[in-house]
Amino acid sequence: MSVPTIILVALIGLFVGSLVNVVVVRLPREQQFGGWPRCTRCGHALAWWQVLPLVGWMAQGGRGRCCGQRLHWIFPLNELLIASAFTVFYMRYGLSAPLFYLSFVAVVLVLTGAIDWLHRSIYTFVILGAALIALATAAIIPHHSFLSALIGALVAGFVFALFFALARIIFPSTAVPFGLGDVYLAIFIGTAVGFLNLMPALFYGMLMAGGFSILLLILRAAGRPNIPKYISYGTFLCLGALTYLMLWGLGGTS
């Protein structure tokens, strides 16, 4: 493993990140996936350099060159997260099955987390489709197994279905800050990380969501305006699972 190959993997991660951003923009708007990227604010077709991951956003100073409107910070962050994840997985596993498996998981987590943050929704066909792929391939991934993926999916699904039911009972009339999409997301995370990694992987996300909620409470108590009432819980589950995988991988001896 040499420095040039590590840089190459990071660059591939950046470009995959910009493709993920295209999906983040177009999936909720139900547009076609083909076609040259356009400004997310005004719809103007972008110049080639504006499309470049990270560089395009920075060269424009976070504002569209076409319309001067602020571009969302989540897009460069998505590119940075995916590039970091690819690099870390490559350095841990080399060019091997776990690298491709975990890179796929990272793409699904960033995609799902970003759409949940921007639109407060999780796409059932995306997350359950990804869970099926993760389950079907788990058997051939070193440090993972079909049984571990299956038990992880069942336990995560059961625990989060319980949370979902409790939230419905506790808040029967108000908009519940915890949806069925979060149950499906937990099933995906359980499948992807396996039974033994499940609890810490979910715990990282719950801890982040808790910390962010406390921050919002403090800001609201301090009289800051426009503090959101609910948080996108799924985003934190995604970020937590991704952080866990980047720190510890799939566990076992590597």
Asked if 39 touches Zn ion (CB under 5 A), the answer is yes
DSSP 37: -
Pick out residues in 105-124 that bind Zn ion (CB under 5 A): none
CA nearest neighbour of 239 among 111, 113, 123 = 113
- Tell me the torsion sign for CA atoms 65, 69, 70, 76: negative
Residue 56 touches Zn ion, criterion: CB under 5 A: no
As a whole number of angstroms, the distance between CA 156 and CA 179 comes to: 14
| Of the residues 53, 56, 64, 249, which one makes contact with Zn ion according to CB under 5 A | 64
Smallest separation (angstroms) from Zn ion to the CB of 228: 25
For position 41 contacting Zn ion by CB under 5 A, the verdict is: yes
Stretch that binds Zn ion, among 58-66, 95-103, 166-174, 200-208 (CB under 5 A): 58-66
**Residue 38, beta-bridge partner list:** 45
Give the gyration radius of the chain's Cα atoms: 19
If the CB atoms of residues 42 and 140 are measured against Zn ion, the closer one turns out to be 42
| Per CB under 5 A, 66 contacts Zn ion | yes
**Among 165, 167, 205, 171, which residue's Cα sits nearest to residue 186?**
205
The DSSP output letter for 172 is S
Residue 59 C-beta: closest distance to Zn ion, Å:
14
218 near Zn ion, rule: CB under 5 A: no
Nearer to Zn ion, 50 or 232 (CB): 50
Judged by beta carbon, residue 41 or residue 119, the one nearer Zn ion is 41
CB of 37 to Zn ion, least distance (A): 11
Query: Hunting for tokens 């800051």 — which residue is that?
Result: 224
With CB under 5 A, what is the number of residues at the site for Zn ion? 7
Burial (CB count within 10 angstroms: exposed 0-12, middle 13-18, buried 19+), residue 90: buried
What is the C-alpha separation between 29 and 25, in angstroms, rounded? Answer: 7
Does residue 45 bind Zn ion (CB under 5 A)?
Answer: no
Sole window of 31-39, 71-79, 144-152, 197-205 interacting with Zn ion (rule: CB under 5 A)? 31-39
Can you list the alpha helix ranges (DSSP code H) found in 61-194? 74-93, 97-119, 124-137, 146-170, 180-193
Would you count residue 42 as binding Zn ion (CB under 5 A)?
yes
Residue 65 CB, nearest approach to Zn ion (Å): 7
CB nearer to Zn ion: give 60 or 191: 60
**12 part of the interface to Zn ion, by CB under 5 A:** no
Contact criterion met (CB below 8 Å) for 237 and 185: yes
Of the listed pieces 65-73, 126-134, 153-161, 194-202, which binds Zn ion according to CB under 5 A?
A: 65-73
| CA nearest to 21, candidates 174, 4, 1, 46 | 46
Q: How far is the CB of 50 from Zn ion (least distance, A)?
A: 9
Residues near Zn ion (CB under 5 A):
39, 41-42, 44, 64, 66-67
